[in-house]
Structure 1
Amino acid sequence: PCRVDLYTDSRYLQEGITRYIPLWERNDWLTRDGRPVKNRALWRTLHRLARMHRITWHWLRGHDGHPLNELADRLATAARQRLAQEPAAESPTQDADDSLPTALVYVKASGRGASGWGAVLRDGLQVRPLSGTAAPATVNALLIRGATEALRALDGQHRVILHSDAGYLVNGGARWAAAWQARGWLTKDGRPVANRELWEELLAEARRHRVTWVRGPGDAPTGPDDLALAGKLAARR
């Protein structure tokens, strides 16, 4: 545990963590007028982490010359500009619902030796290693199977952030599959899409959730280790 002085120019953040969260918790994460609290999953994560430390929250006026606040503002602006230049990576089939629980999924596949897939599923405080095999199967087919089984293992609807270092899986789930479907499961040059049946099965599972597809381990502190573990699970098959 640490003693933390946390400065922000956001009243929403400061009052949310110091005043509103106890009220939301007592009201089953509903506002006073009975609507689901926006950004519920993010608030719950922040609250859990904040309880690990002694935090003093300080509000300061935005753009008032505080050097660290100005630096934070520049970093946020740069991040927003980068995101604006990148293609959307969220499943288009789901409406936004901030009340959904969040699950992190990490998927890898191995074509060496006994071909297999591995996945690490983080659902709240629960961490589940998953793995499987299929023979004969390409690495691409195993990636799709791993993602499908990880989504299938979730009970109830979730906001899922699905990570893989395989562009085939991430781009396929985020962008290509929608285009393939629109063309009757044909590629741009008119050929049948490989692994169509597996993709259809994966998309059916993805429609149960709100899925964001991420290339690489993402920003979670455990992401690199979880993706590495998924690779080890795949290689053990």
Structure 2
Amino acid sequence: MPFSRKIKTLYTDGACRGNPGPGGWGVVVYFNDGSVYEMGDADPATTNNRMEMQAAIGALKLVTATGQQEPVTLYTDSEYLRNGITKWVKGWKKKGWKTSEGKPVLNKDLWEILDELNSQHIEWRYVRGHAGNEGNERCDEIARAFALGRPPDLQQTQPDALIGSQATDSIDRETIQSSDVSSDPPNLGLVMVDSTTPPSLDSLDNLPREVRVAQLRNLIETLHVADEIAAKGYLITSSELADLMDVNASAVTSRGDNWGWRNWVVSRVRREGNQILWQLERVDEVNSNFEASANS
């Protein structure tokens, strides 16, 4: 059956209540005739980066299912996702999915799926989050609602190429969720939990042990990345720091030039063009340097 409509643009986004914690992802698909198709799902124990990646996977699966060969623009507010799929993944594969330091690549399972689904027809573009872009804002609403355990009402007019065809199966219907039409609309006014704010003990106690262990493993991965950034003296942008901390970029820039996050002191170093560069230093190293300076 010919596909009369063509996908014009895709918007993807992920959210996480804590990092790690319960997460959600959302996709908004815009067709050339002005119609819209929305998707999303939740994960009880995940990270913000994995949800960003899962959103892109859902979007690319839809493109694959339609068999579209015309160019499609995919917008994401995650520089981690865009840089990973357009730049870093080539080097990772050459090194056997190892980083330049020889360490295993984080989220390898999802990177492999993304790499397989990606094609020359997909143009990856970065869009700044929470800047009034309609597609990005809607994706954010969908992802946050799923992360809160309140699936939103989704626009899901079935793409005509998928009606009555086997292509529907290739999208993996388990990852495309519709909300119960009888349920109340989600309260999207709820504020997402900053990853620097620990979840309540009650909420942790109610989670299965295996979920809590998975959250701990994801947290350790995040802390290892932060430690490596500090040890190597890498400078990272506000968006990259926000991805690491699982907060909005605006929350990073509004905290001032020097502040503490977990085991690190975060310092604003300089501006390059329209990017602010930040440095992470271990608290114990900062204290040691201070003591050495005081005793000299």
TM normalised by structure 1 equals 0.52
- Could you say what secondary structure the match of 2:133 adopts? helix
**Contact 2:26–2:143 (CA<8 Å) still a contact in 1?**
yes
- The structure 2 residue matched to 1:190, chosen from 96, 102, 121, is 102
Alignment of 1:128-147 (within 5 A): 128-147=37-56
- 1:124 alignment partner in structure 2: 32
- Could you say what secondary structure the match of 1:228 adopts? helix
**Contact 2:13–2:140 (CA<8 Å) still a contact in 1?**
yes
**Contact 2:24–2:43 (CA<8 Å) still a contact in 1?**
yes
- 2:121 alignment partner in structure 1: 210
Distance in 2 (CA, whole Å) between partners of 1:216 and 1:131 is 19
Kindly state the Cα deviation for residue 123 of structure 1 after the two structures are TM-superposed.
2.6
**Contact 1:163–1:217 (CA<8 Å) still a contact in 2?**
no
Query: Deviation per CA, 1:75-100, whole angstroms, max 9, x where unpaired?
Result: xxxxxxxxxxxxxxxxxxxxxxxxxx
Kindly state the Cα deviation for residue 103 of structure 1 after the two structures are TM-superposed.
2.7
- The amino acid of 1:123's aligned partner reads F
**Contact 2:7–2:29 (CA<8 Å) still a contact in 1?**
no
Runs of at least 5 residues in structure 1 that lack an aligned partner in the other structure = 1-100
- 1:179 alignment partner in structure 2: 91
Alignment length, in residue pairs? 132
Kindly state the Cα deviation for residue 106 of structure 1 after the two structures are TM-superposed.
0.8
Kindly state the Cα deviation for residue 122 of structure 1 after the two structures are TM-superposed.
1.3
Alignment of 1:18-29 (within 5 A): none
Query: Deviation per CA, 1:35-55, whole angstroms, max 9, x where unpaired?
Result: xxxxxxxxxxxxxxxxxxxxx
- The structure 2 residue matched to 1:156, chosen from 54, 64, 67, is 67
- Could you say what secondary structure the match of 1:129 adopts? strand
Kindly state the Cα deviation for residue 102 of structure 1 after the two structures are TM-superposed.
5.2
- Could you say what secondary structure the match of 1:122 adopts? strand
Distance in 1 (CA, whole Å) between partners of 2:41 and 2:81 is 17
Distance in 1 (CA, whole Å) between partners of 2:111 and 2:27 is 17
Kindly state the Cα deviation for residue 135 of structure 1 after the two structures are TM-superposed.
2.7
Distance in 2 (CA, whole Å) between partners of 1:166 and 1:195 is 15
Question: Structure 1: which 4+ aligned runs deviate by more than 3 Å?
Answer: none
- The amino acid of 1:183's aligned partner reads K
- 2:79 alignment partner in structure 1: 167
Matched, 1:232 2:144: no
Distance in 2 (CA, whole Å) between partners of 1:205 and 1:217 is 24
- 2:13 alignment partner in structure 1: 108
- The amino acid of 2:15's aligned partner reads S
TM normalised by structure 2 equals 0.42
Distance in 1 (CA, whole Å) between partners of 2:109 and 2:37 is 26
Runs of at least 5 residues in structure 2 that lack an aligned partner in the other structure = 1-5, 147-296
**Contact 1:161–1:211 (CA<8 Å) still a contact in 2?**
yes
- The amino acid of 2:91's aligned partner reads A
